[in-house]
Amino acid sequence: MRAKFAIPLFAALFVLFATFAWGQTTTFSGKKVEVYTTAKNTTLRLSDAGSLQLQPTSQEMNKGNWIFVDPTKTFQSVLGIGGALTDASAETFAKLPEKSQEEFLTAYYNPEKGIGYTLGRTNINSCDFSSDSYTYVANHDSLLKTFSIAHDEKYRIPFIKKIIAATDGNLTLFISPWSPPAWMKSNDDMLHGGKLLPRYRQAWANYFVKFIRAYQAQGIHIWGMTVQNEPLATQIWESCIYTAQDERDFIKNYLGPTLERDGLGSKKIIAWDHNRDLLYYRASVVLNDPQAAKYVWGIGYHWYESWSGGKMMFNNERRVQEAFPNTHLLFTEGCVDRFNFNQVHDWSLGEKYGRSMIHDFNAGTVGWTDWNVLLNEKGGPNHVGNYCFAPIIADTRTGQLIYTNIYYYIGQFSKFVRPGAKRIISSSSSSQLLTTAFINKDGKLAVIVMNPTDTKITYHLWVGGSAAGTASLPHSISTLIVE
């Protein structure tokens, strides 16, 4: 009897499963897809490029180009997307007429009229994108009795407050030091590298607490911090060297315990904050030590490893995710350097961002932080002449804002991929089309498709057994919203 009914029973179960699965996959039939596009040699800039409708498909999928989206496979939740709120950005903003200031705030931080930034980074003490070098304490005041953020009250604090208001209080802000005060360092200099002297490690951990408390007294909530900006770079600007072991020991013996002792244990600590090339090694040294790892929320990284002539090393992000799946990845800085005012409309600027953001999110990052949100017509101010591009350039001679296509490429993500969204599977059958996708908390899918080639590419968007045909313009990026 068992042999007689085994095959029919299996078949019945298979039919039941297939019926259930098909029911699940056909739920997208008839769904509307709104397309928003930014494209070279067109007027399309985050523009409504029309709508599609998903229909059941029986086409052979080995023909043509396909973007396959599977909303049933979810991954990391998105923290946010944004940029750095530096002294340079704040000073440039202050020089703008009020109308341009309002335009800037709307362009970045309004989710309907702008691109809806929700993530920010700002500096502890000065950085290269400050007009001068400064700290918040008098020389050799290891007890920090003279600690004061009066310097920041002129430009940066008012700037950040306006941004917080523009986001209705929904700004996730983290902080990063470029250097401790000179007298705390081995070279007695805020610039040119040097190391934190062992006798000042506790004072430097206390400095973080002082900064957080002072900013929060101004109504600026600090979500988290990186331990040190670019801890392996000896720069002509503010810099400080930490080996992997130095950073591990500072976290577990000083910074982590100090934050907990002072009631700030909920603040997120982010290690590394440097390039992808050494990402796995630096993460492993910290995270393989349980006493350090218990304080670490995530690993931050930059994209400048390509300056050596190689390519961006996205697989190193994946190695960290594979080895430490409960630790978050966060892109903490990226920009295009060697500013030239005559190149503000070069299309390659934005394409570098689009390529990185797609690969970074697909590799597991939870958030993406650009460098300066605003710079002047010289790519500064910057006290060491290290000028670079920003998504928006302010011509302080005229008071006008210039939008590079970086702004639009980032906006194809930040406007449509909101905090709390989860990444889902988006797979391309063509190596020429780059893609990533998310499901927002309201249930809408945001599928991003980038075409960095000189050729228009037709493709089908496939979701749950239904598909719609469309085309990707040369040198374009589109966000397809499935409602």
**Predicted pLDDT of residue 11:** 37
Convert the pLDDT of each residue in 187-208 to its tens digit: 999 999 999 999 999 999 999 9
- Using alpha carbons only, give the angle 442, 85, 157 rounded to the nearest 5 degrees: 110
Catalytic residue flag (residue 333): yes
Say yes or no: 249 and 151 in one domain: yes
| Buried b or exposed e, range 231-262, using 16+ CB within 10 angstroms | bbbebebbbbbbebebbbbbbbebbbbbbeeb
pTM value is: 0.94
Q: Encoding tokens for residue 222?
A: 């600090």
**Predicted pLDDT of residue 281:** 98
Quick check: bond before 181 cis, omega within 30? Answer: no
* Confidence category of residue 211, pLDDT binned at 50, 70, 90: very high
Say yes or no: 324 and 406 in one domain: yes
* Confidence category of residue 16, pLDDT binned at 50, 70, 90: very low
Q: Give the Cα separation of 335 and 352 in Å (integer).
A: 9
* Residue type, position 101, single letter: Q
Q: Encoding tokens for residue 55?
A: 């229909």
Say yes or no: 321 and 208 in one domain: yes
Which position has the token pair 């490690």? 201
In the listed set 390, 419, 448, which residue is the last one of a domain according to the structure?
A: 419
Q: Encoding tokens for residue 383?
A: 């006290």
Query: Would you say residue 184 has pLDDT above 70?
Result: yes
Say yes or no: 368 and 442 in one domain: no
Q: Give the Cα separation of 110 and 415 in Å (integer).
A: 9
Distances from the Cα of 149 to the Cα of 204, 254, 322, 434, 481, angstroms = 16, 23, 41, 44, 44
Say yes or no: 444 and 357 in one domain: no
Say yes or no: 270 and 138 in one domain: yes
Residue 460 lies in a domain: yes
Catalytic residue flag (residue 247): no
Say yes or no: 345 and 462 in one domain: no
Contact 457, 433 (CB under 8 A): yes
Q: Give the Cα separation of 157 and 222 in Å (integer).
A: 13
Say yes or no: 99 and 42 in one domain: no
* Confidence category of residue 309, pLDDT binned at 50, 70, 90: confident
Domain range for 444 is 31-76+424-482
Convert the pLDDT of each residue in 318-345 to its tens digit: 999 999 999 999 999 999 999 999 999 9
Of 230, 305, 317, 351, the active-site residue reads 230
For 253, which DSSP code?
Answer: I
Say yes or no: 344 and 433 in one domain: no
Query: Would you say residue 160 has pLDDT above 60?
Result: yes
Residue 84 lies in a domain: yes
* Residue type, position 263, single letter: G
In the listed set 375, 390, 419, which residue is the last one of a domain according to the structure?
A: 419
> Measuring CA to CA, which residue among 482, 362, 474 is closest to residue 426?
362
Q: Give the Cα separation of 360 and 276 in Å (integer).
A: 11
Query: Would you say residue 210 has pLDDT above 60?
Result: yes
Residue 7 lies in a domain: no
Q: Taking residues 62-70, what's their average pLDDT? A: 93
- Count of structural domains within the chain: 2
Residue 16 lies in a domain: no
State the angle between helix axes of 279-287 and 315-323 in degrees (0 to 180), rounded to the nearest 10: 20
| Domain at 249, CATH number | 3.20.20.80
Contact 350, 408 (CB under 8 A): yes
**Predicted pLDDT of residue 19:** 33
Say yes or no: 273 and 173 in one domain: yes
Say yes or no: 287 and 157 in one domain: yes
State the angle between helix axes of 87-94 and 156-166 in degrees (0 to 180), rounded to the nearest 10: 80
Of 305, 317, 333, 351, the active-site residue reads 333
Say yes or no: 88 and 40 in one domain: no
**Predicted pLDDT of residue 363:** 98
